[in-house]
Amino acid sequence: MNFEGFCGPSYASESALVDCESLINMYTEIVESGRGRNPDRLALYPAAGSALWVDLTGSGTSVRALHSTPGKRSFAVLGTTLQEINSDRTATARGTITTDTVPNSMVSGDTYALLASGGSLYTFDLSTNTLAQVSAANLAGSVSQV
């Protein structure tokens, strides 16, 4: 069976209005001999993929947020737990938060990270690794994102 045009260019323009082709997890290679069964003289090969860095599924719940700080520290929220993803491919629990069905959000600077979860606001001190909930008295209402 001949699928003419199946292996073709993989050009991606800045604008989808100009050209909206996308080749994901594959790359094209020109058959330099000019021979072969493919009239387009292109071959598709798989690109290098992703490898598992750390397994966060042990908690039995899904990842609700991922965040990297300017200081190159990475965090994940799994259910009610804030976890730090370490460079040695392990995760360290940094504290417990309230949760709901809304995705969590995080922002950070050089010394603190802010986390919104379950209508509450939390601060995480990056120098002392301390997680603290901001008192509701200091907020104008429920927090949905930061």
Q: How confident is the model at residue 83, as a pLDDT?
A: 92
- Which residue did the predictor score with more confidence, 62 or 12? 62
The helices-and-strands tally (H runs, E runs) of the chain is 0, 10
- Contact status, residue 56 vs residue 65, Cβ threshold 8 Å: no
List Cβ<8 Å contacts ≥24 apart for 92-99.
Answer: 94/124, 94/129, 94/131, 95/122, 95/124, 95/130, 95/131, 96/131, 97/122, 97/131, 97/133, 99/64
Q: What is the mean pLDDT of the chain?
A: 82
Q: DSSP letter for 82, please.
A: E
pTM confidence score: 0.64
Percentage of the chain beyond pLDDT 90 is 29
Name the more confident of 61 and 86.
86
